[in-house]
Amino acid sequence: MQLALKYYVIEFSKYIIAFLMVLYTSLSVTTVVSNKKKLVSVCTSVQSGLMLVVIFLSFLEMTFVSGMEEYLYLFAFITLFLFFMITIVSIIYDKSDRILLNNMCMLSGIGLSIVSRLSFSKAFRQYIITLISFAICLAIPFFIDRFKYFKQLLWVYASVGIVVLSIVLFTGSKVNGANITYTLKGITFQPSEFVKIIYLFFLAALLYKYNSFKWIFISALITGAYVIVLVFSRDLGSALIFFVAYVMIVVMSTHNYIYLISGLAGGALACIVAYNLFDHVKVRVVAFMDPWTYIDDQAYQITQSLFAISSGGWFGSGLMQGRPSDIPFVNQDLIFSAVCEEYGLLFAICLLIICMCVFCRMMMLSYRIADKFYQIIVYGIGIMYIFQVFLTVGGGIKFIPLTGVTLPLISYGGSSVMTTYIMLFIVQGIVIKSRNYEQAHDERKMAPDKKLY
Amino acid sequence: MKEKWHPIKNYIDSSPRAKSMVLINLTMIIFCILFLAMFIYLGIFVQTSTIDLYNNSYNNRQELQYKNVTRGTIYSSDGEVLAETRTDDAGNEIRYYPYGSMFAHAVGYAVNGRMGIEDYANYYLMHTGASLSDKVSNDLENVKDPGYDVYSTLNVELQKVVDDYLGSYNGAVIVTEAKTGRVLVLISHPDFNPGTIKEDWESITSNPENSQLLNRATQGLYPPGSTFKIITALEYYRENPGEWEDYKYNCEGSINHGDYRVSCIYGTVHGELNLEESFARSCNSSFVNIGLSLSRNRWADTMEDLYFNRPIPTDMVVNTSSAYIGAGSTDYDIMQTSIGQGKTVMTPLHLNMITQAIANNGVMMKPYIIEKIVDDDGNIVRDFEPESIGQVMSADEAAYLTDLMMAVVEYGTGRALITDSYTCAGKTGTAEFAQDINESHAWFTAFAPAEDPEICVTIIIEKAGTGMEYAVPLAKMIFDAYFGV
């Protein structure tokens, strides 16, 4: 009987997981689109339950296929953590955004599941890093609310970012052909991830005050310095993310669409120059244009990724029943292909819709932020997040050339997870600050309660 | 400041806050479109490429199925087993081929790489249609799920006739249905035994000149010899509408042009000939004369229409035939190409397809060898329908070529096929590649019945002699067997 149950779980759970994921995603979309307070609160509660079942079934399937009970313990730890995160944040910060928080937990849960499937020991490390990240992040909203000098540190942000990146460029170690990591006392960092945050604060501090062409030009020079350092250290994906975020933020703060057009034109030009100048750019494009010819070397990674995606079909092979480990660097850059192969395309598309929900929610939250400095930061975090998702997923499915960035919250990698957590909690902090401000404002005006749920 | 955002009002509103909202909305719309495009791309990619990518030799996912699926069975069109997997008491699986080497290239093999139907249908053979509950009960009993079974279009009886006749000769034969493109016979000699391919691998691959693994029917590139006169005659018809019947030539056994000389076979003097007689008697001198009169560009276009120099649209592994006529061609090249010699090479499958188009009012059909895929309960999972490649010549041109090919059988080089039981249209060829005429490849391509064609036969026998003496009798045996004479 117990044996039969085991095989039923192995054969059926992928369909149940996909179904629950569709349900979760529809609720997610509902919460983002709807402005009925009550409906949203019901949806978010149901979501928490669905989240738990999806992650439970994933780990149950892994336990049965592998025969290792350790997976169930890991599940218990993960569930405890997610429950703890939702509860604590809701209690300490009653004005935090539950929709964002829920989706963040769901993505973290899925990420830990798929990393567990690829490597148990890596999943354990990832779990610890997630815990540490959360502990750090818990204080962020408090600081944002109280610390008043964020706007005044313009030149600190600019110089710290460039200095950190340059140190990595000249002294960093090579990983996967890219000069992007720095090891300190046995712990390896990828500073370009953290520099993203500093860079955003720099841009916001500059553009909320100055809108003249002169200052836009200066900001362009500094951004150019960041991007060039990144291109030289072969971190093409991050370079693109910085660039796109820069263009969109400039348009956001000036409301001048000429910057959008000239930015995109300049970007296209820069891509052509980079293509002709750098071999490592050329290789990516060649592998994208004609992967089957170069299946032996340059295009080995992308073709293996395509094999994985195509083999999964709509419902996937089931966890631990595919071969995602055939893909080089599947843990970081191509984790989405692993999700496609084992969870199936339906699940993977739902996952992307959840990412879209996170993005759209951040955009909608930025509507209401009256302080331009903070509005730019939330907007910038949203752009960086969704563009990174687009780069890594689009690259892995051969929609665009492969650039090698992580899928935020899903991929294995401490720097990536920690940065994404920090970014999302900065958004939470800004939202809380803005809601507090609104509330104070409303109370003064004796207006009826209209605050966001 | 706090009233609800209104899409139209806010576009007119020019406050900075409203402008920010417009931009934020625009950003959301752009990324939504981008992601939607990605979803559509992903969906189409998975729907269309799963089978192709599964079969790619760099894809190691096949090993996953070996653990869970018993490879399906391959049947002939009338339900005879051509390949099946047998499991002994110890649980070892053996791929068993009841007909030995008879279907070597058609059915192929599935160890040390793959070939033939074992390759084309590999995805289906290794995937199961078992229901979830069956899968669970199979898991419990520790047996594998059955893979899909494949019904081929092959005809065991005809295949046997051809296999026996070819014996130790090297060569290839392909028989297709005239109106559908279904492949009834696909044989290539020398062959091998797919059941013992693993043991024989060393000796097969250590002898490259023998090239047993090459499927000569679909991949062998041979000079087409006089069978190519079909194309030369078609081009003459196209360039001389209404006047081709007036063609006259006096054959003196050879033709000289500049410094070059081309002779008729055995130096035969054919005398006064019109176009039909030139074709029926396969007069080289007359066809060189025709070829020299043709427009190079238009001739090249006609060959392009007929799928020379470009891949044939089929799921089988094929080589591309080549026949070059262009600005750089010398008169000598033209003379050689007119009679299918020189640089011209083509596969037997390709010649069969051109023959089939003539038999089918000019419509070429995609040749196919897999009829349907069925699951363990006999339900059809996928049914392969005949597919047209296109009208490669007009119905008029097809009728004209049919007349020429009927003349070949009535009074030309195919007289051995005269019978009361059916009418036949064909063209012989003797592809010379050495001085000795007995070392030539014997060609014959034909269809029957000529009035309402049912099957097309293309034969090449290497180093046998003339097509008339060696290939035509085999065609007769095939037609006799098919029409039950």
Three-class SS of chain A? CHHHHHHHHHHHHHHHHHHHHHHHHHHHHHHHHCCCHHHHHHHHHHHHHHHHHHHHHHHHHHHHHHCCCHHHHHHHHHHHHHHHHHHHHHHHCCCCCHHHHHHHHHHHHHHHHHHHHHCHHHHHHHHHHHHHHHHHHCCHHHHHHHCCCHHHCHHHHHHHHHHHHHHHHHHCEEECCEEEEEEECCEEECHHHHHHHHHHHHHHHHHCCCCCHHHHHHHHHHHHHHHHHHHHCCCHHHHHHHHHHHHHHHHHHHCCHHHHHHHHHHHHHHHHHHHHHCHHHHHHHHHHHCCCCCCCCCCHHHHHHHHHHHHHCCCCCCCCCCCHHHCCCCCCCCHHHHHHHHHCHHHHHHHHHHHHHHHHHHHHHHHCCCCHHHHHHHHHHHHHHHHHHHHHHHHHCCCCCCCCCCCCCCCCCHHHHHHHHHHHHHHHHHHHHHHHHHHHHHHHHCCCCCCCC
Cα dihedral: B60, B63, B64, B68 (round 10): 160
Cα dihedral: A328, A333, A334, A335 (round 10): 110
Mean pLDDT, rounded, for A29-41: 91
Domain ranges of chain B: 7-48, 219-367+390-483
CB B476 within 8 A of CB B416: yes
Confidence of residue B1 (pLDDT cuts 50, 70, 90): very low
**Least confident window among A55-69, A136-150, A439-453, B307-321:** A439-453
The Cα B464–Cα B438 span in angstroms is 6
What ranges in B102-155 are assigned the alpha helix state H? Answer: 104-107, 116-120, 122-125, 132-141
B53: closest chain A residue by CA: A307
Question: Does A7 sit within 8 Å of B140, measured CB to CB?
Answer: yes
CA angle B100, B173, B106 (to 5 degrees): 40
CA atoms within 13 A on the CB side of B177: 18
**CA–CA min distance A106, chain B (Å):** 20
Partners of residue B390 on adjacent β-strands: B364
A260: closest chain B residue by CA: B23
Identify the pLDDT of residue A265. 94
pLDDT digits (tens, 9 = 90+) for B15-70: 788 888 899 999 999 999 999 999 999 999 999 988 888 888 888 888 888 888 99
Q: Which residues of B31-63 are buried (b: 16+ CB within 10 A; e: fewer)?
A: beebbeebeeebeebbeeebeebbbbeebebbe
Mean pLDDT, rounded, for B378-395: 93
Question: Does A375 sit within 8 Å of B20, measured CB to CB?
Answer: yes
Question: Does A304 sit within 8 Å of B58, measured CB to CB?
Answer: yes
Residue A46 has pLDDT above 70, yes or no: yes
Question: Does A366 sit within 8 Å of B46, measured CB to CB?
Answer: no
Question: Does B132 sit within 8 Å of A11, measured CB to CB?
Answer: yes
B37: closest chain A residue by CA: A399
Comparing B435 with B326, the larger pLDDT belongs to B326
Confidence of residue B439 (pLDDT cuts 50, 70, 90): confident
Residue B321 has pLDDT above 60, yes or no: yes
pTM: 0.83
pLDDT digits (tens, 9 = 90+) for A84-110: 999 999 999 999 999 999 999 999 999
CB B261 within 8 A of CB B254: yes
pLDDT digits (tens, 9 = 90+) for A155-171: 899 888 888 877 877 77
Cα dihedral: B209, B214, B219, B225 (round 10): 40
The Cα A367–Cα A431 span in angstroms is 11
Minimum-distance CB partner of A323 among B32, B42, B60: B60
Host H or E run for residue B173: strand B171-177
Contact residues on chain B for A326, CB-CB shorter than 8 A: 60-61
Identify the pLDDT of residue B268. 85
Contact residues on chain A for B34, CB-CB shorter than 8 A: 390
SS3 of B430, please?
Answer: strand
**CA–CA min distance A4, chain B (Å):** 7
**CA–CA min distance A172, chain B (Å):** 34
pLDDT digits (tens, 9 = 90+) for A341-395: 999 999 999 999 999 999 999 999 998 888 899 999 999 999 999 999 999 999 9
Residue A401 has pLDDT above 60, yes or no: yes
The Cα B356–Cα B177 span in angstroms is 8
Mean pLDDT, rounded, for B201-208: 81
Question: Does B64 sit within 8 Å of A307, measured CB to CB?
Answer: no
pLDDT digits (tens, 9 = 90+) for B268-283: 889 899 999 999 999 9
Which tokens in the block code for residue A244?
């796109």
Q: Are strands B81-87 and B93-96 parallel, antiparallel or unpaired?
A: antiparallel
Which tokens in the block code for residue B355?
């023959």
Q: Does B248 touch chain A (CB under 8 A)?
A: no
ipTM of the shown complex: 0.93
Minimum-distance CB partner of A255 among B19, B31, B50: B19
pLDDT digits (tens, 9 = 90+) for B322-365: 988 887 888 888 999 999 988 899 999 999 999 999 999 999 99
DSSP letters, B371-410, are: EEEE-TTS-EEEEPPP-EEEE-S-HHHHHHHHHHHHHHHH
Class of domain B219-367+390-483: alpha beta
B141: closest chain A residue by CA: A4
Residue A186 has pLDDT above 70, yes or no: no
Question: Does A322 sit within 8 Å of B61, measured CB to CB?
Answer: yes
Of B474, B461, B468, the residue nearest B411 (C-alpha): B468
pLDDT digits (tens, 9 = 90+) for A274-305: 889 888 888 889 999 999 988 888 899 999 99
Residue A447 carries which side chain, given as an amino acid letter? A
Contact residues on chain B for A345, CB-CB shorter than 8 A: 42-43, 46
Residue A198 has pLDDT above 80, yes or no: yes
Q: Does A64 touch chain B (CB under 8 A)?
A: no
**CA–CA min distance A369, chain B (Å):** 10
- Phi-psi domain of B61 (left: phi exceeds 0; alpha: psi -120 through 50; beta: other): alpha
Mean pLDDT, rounded, for B386-407: 94
**Least confident window among A198-202, B229-233, B244-248:** B244-248
Minimum-distance CB partner of A367 among B5, B34, B49: B5
The Cα A377–Cα A200 span in angstroms is 6
The Cα B49–Cα A291 span in angstroms is 14
Minimum-distance CB partner of B58 among A295, A323, A352: A295
Residue B27 carries which side chain, given as an amino acid letter? T
Of B306, B320, B331, the residue nearest B227 (C-alpha): B306
Mean pLDDT, rounded, for B188-198: 90
- Return residues 2-61 of B near A (CB < 8 Å): 2, 5, 16, 19-21, 23-24, 27-28, 31-32, 34-35, 37-39, 41-43, 45-46, 49-50, 53-54, 56, 58-61
Comparing A184 with B162, the larger pLDDT belongs to B162
Of B111, B333, B101, B350, the residue nearest B224 (C-alpha): B350
Q: State what percent of residues in chain A have pLDDT above 90.
A: 62
Interface test with A, best of B10, B24, B39, B57 (most A CBs within 10 A): B24
Residue where the block lists tokens 């759970």: A13
Minimum-distance CB partner of A345 among B16, B34, B42: B42
Comparing B204 with A428, the larger pLDDT belongs to A428
Question: Does A311 sit within 8 Å of B50, measured CB to CB?
Answer: yes
Q: What is the phi/psi pair of residue B389, to 5°?
A: -85, -25
Which tokens in the block code for residue A86?
């939702």
Q: Does B66 touch chain A (CB under 8 A)?
A: no
Q: Does B221 touch chain A (CB under 8 A)?
A: no
- Please provide the average confidence, as pLDDT, over all residues in chain B: 89
SS3 of B123, please?
Answer: helix
Q: Which residues of B159-193 are buried (b: 16+ CB within 10 A; e: fewer)?
A: bebbbebbeebbbbbbbbbbbbbbbbbbbbbbbbb
**Least confident window among A118-132, A429-443, B307-321:** A429-443
**CA–CA min distance A349, chain B (Å):** 7
Contact residues on chain B for A251, CB-CB shorter than 8 A: 23
Residue B457 has pLDDT above 80, yes or no: yes
CB B357 within 8 A of CB B363: yes
Question: Does B140 sit within 8 Å of A3, measured CB to CB?
Answer: yes
Four-residue CA torsion sign, B402, B404, B410, B414: negative
pLDDT digits (tens, 9 = 90+) for B145-167: 999 999 999 999 999 999 999 88
Residue where the block lists tokens 């609160």: A41
Identify the pLDDT of residue A453. 43
**CA–CA min distance A73, chain B (Å):** 26
Identify the pLDDT of residue B55. 85
Identify the pLDDT of residue A151. 87
Minimum-distance CB partner of A379 among B24, B45, B46: B24
Question: Does B16 sit within 8 Å of A311, measured CB to CB?
Answer: no
Q: State what percent of residues in chain B have pLDDT above 70.
A: 96
Number of H helices, E strands in chain B: 19, 19
Question: Does B136 sit within 8 Å of A321, measured CB to CB?
Answer: no
CB B192 within 8 A of CB B203: no
SS3 of B241, please?
Answer: coil
Residue B475 vs residues A151, B105, B405, B441: alpha-carbon distances, Å: 91, 20, 14, 15
The Cα B65–Cα B75 span in angstroms is 21
Contact residues on chain B for A310, CB-CB shorter than 8 A: 45-46, 49-50, 53-54
